Amino acid sequence: MQPLSDSALVADCLAGEQAAWNELVERFSRYVFAIATQAFRLSQTDAEDVFQDVFARIYDRLDTLRDPAALRPWIAQLTRRECIDRLRTATRETPVETLPEEIENVIDHLEEAFDVRIELGALSEECQAVLDRFFCRDESYRTIGEALDLPPGTIASRISRCLGRLRERLEGRNIVAAASSERRDQ
């Protein structure tokens, strides 16, 4: 089943659907957490506070989002602001307008990682589970095999096959993006 677009998800959240809110949190939880812990290197305690504050702000202000398709950059912006506020409170320093290059580079890397997760979501459930467990949860072949009821000896080949499919999707996505960019330029 195709996942809801961000715009449809926003509309359903604004209609008060709990399942849509759950999906929104699920969809962006890794992203918010990664920005806080990897780009801004917040402590676990600060990262948790930022995480909860970001989702509380999203909940409170979702109806102010002018372009629902811009949900992701809006959440990124809210997360950056919360992280900067947290660092400012900790160091009592005035925040700078431009972020250090190192932070920007990590955020760029996370944007690319988010794109990969979107494409991962289009693979079979088995591929999603195998790749997520191996790469994101750092599980061993044995643990993955037990969890998914698969022979451990087949996990490596499944990872390789699923990675191949993910690569095809990512490269196919680039072809579509390049074609639409060419059409725009004409």
Partner 1 sequence: MRRYDEEHIGELLRAMPPAPAGYVQAAQELPRARAEVDGLVERAREDLVFRAALLADIEAALVAEGVEPRPALVDLLRRRVSE
Q: Which residues contact 119 (CB under 8 A, 6 or more apart)?
A: 166, 169, 170, 173
22 binds partner 1 (CB under 8 A): yes
112 binds partner 1 (CB under 8 A): yes
Dig out the tokens for 176 from the structure.
């579509």
Using CB under 8 A as the criterion, what x/- string covers residues 115-154 for binding partner 1?
Answer: -xx--x----------xx--xxxx----------------
For residue 18, give the amino acid letter.
Q
Q: Which of 73, 95, 152, 164 binds partner 1 (CB under 8 A)?
A: 164
CB of 21 to partner 1, least distance (A): 6
Q: Determine contact, residues 32/54, Cβ cutoff 8 Å.
A: yes
By CB under 8 A, which span of 67-75, 82-90, 93-101, 108-116 interacts with partner 1?
Answer: 108-116
* Nearest-angstrom CA–CA distance, 20 and 9: 6
84 binds partner 1 (CB under 8 A): no
Q: Which residues contact 78 (CB under 8 A, 6 or more apart)?
A: 54, 57, 58
174 binds partner 1 (CB under 8 A): yes
Distance from the first to the final alpha carbon of the chain: 34
114 binds partner 1 (CB under 8 A): yes
Rg (CA), the chain: 19
* Nearest-angstrom CA–CA distance, 27 and 114: 10
Provide the binding-site residues for partner 1, judged by CB under 8 A: 16, 18, 21-22, 25-26, 29-34, 38, 48-49, 51-53, 55-56, 59, 109-110, 112-114, 116-117, 120, 131-132, 135-138, 160, 163-164, 166-167, 170-171, 174-175, 178
